[in-house]
Structures are given as structure tokens and as C-alpha cells.
Amino acid sequence: MTVPAGGRPAVPLRLDATTLDAPDARELASFYMALLGWEVDYDDGQWVKLRAPGGGATLAFQSEPLHRRPVWPTEPDAPAMTAHLDIEAGDLATAEAHALACGATTAAYQPQDSVRVMLDPAGHPFCLWTRPPN
């Protein structure tokens, strides 16, 4: 891999959004609005972008009629997760209860005590996690 001189791109670049495919962009955006308390920044019916109240990178959703729910943990010949969201929580049990009330499900396999792997309504895994005590 070649890195440009000074380690910077020739033009300014800024990560704008992470985009998740779903059978219905608005439906999945509604789930994450309830989960995170974010607001709609853009909505054309097929693509919805949410923005955090304090700004920063956004979370977007794209309608993909052929979307197949990923399987986690990965299994041979099944649609694999290619990315997941990590969401820090002040209290894991309270965050899990909130996620469940919003429409998430708790994944059967839980790899760590300080992380709760959840699945959004379209099947994307996301991790609720807490910092270990100092």
C-alpha cells in the first residue's frame, strides 16, 4: 500500500456515513431513531440518513429488496456479517432492555460479559458495551 506524502490525502476527506442495507430503509431508520434518539437528516423513501443531535458522522439506511439477514456467528454458506456497530452504554442491562423495547433481539451467542450482541430488525448485529471499571 502506498501512502501519500505526509500521510494525508491530496484532497480533504471526511467520513460522512455508515450505510446499512435493509428491505425497507424507513423501517430500519425508525428502529435506530428510537434506539439512539437521533433525527432524520434526509429521507427520499429509498435512502434515509440519521444525524446525532451533536453532529458528526451519520447513520444511513438503503432499501435493498434482495437483502438477506446476516447470520452471526458466521456459518458456512450463510450470509455473513461484514460490519457491525458498537454502541457504548452506561448500563448494559438498561441498554439491552431499551434495545429490546425498540424491536431488537438478543443474539443467542454472547462472547463477553461486558458486551451484549443484539440484532436489529433487519438482522444486522450491533454490540452494546460498557467500559470495564477502573
pLDDT digits (tens), the chain, 134 positions: 665 566 777 788 888 999 999 999 999 999 999 999 999 999 999 999 999 999 998 999 999 999 999 998 888 999 988 889 999 999 999 999 999 999 999 999 999 999 999 999 999 999 999 988 77
pLDDT number for residue 96: 97
Q: Which of 110, 102, 104, 108 is nearest to 124 (CA)?
A: 104
pTM of the complete model: 0.88
* Inter-residue contact 89 to 129 (CB < 8 Å): yes
CA 87, CA 126: separation in Å to the nearest integer? 7
Say what the pLDDT of residue 3 is.
59
CA count, 13 A, side-chain hemisphere, 130: 14
The answer to whether 18 and 28 are in contact (CB under 8 A) is no
Residue 112 CA, chain-centre distance (Å), reads 19
Residue 23, pLDDT score: 97
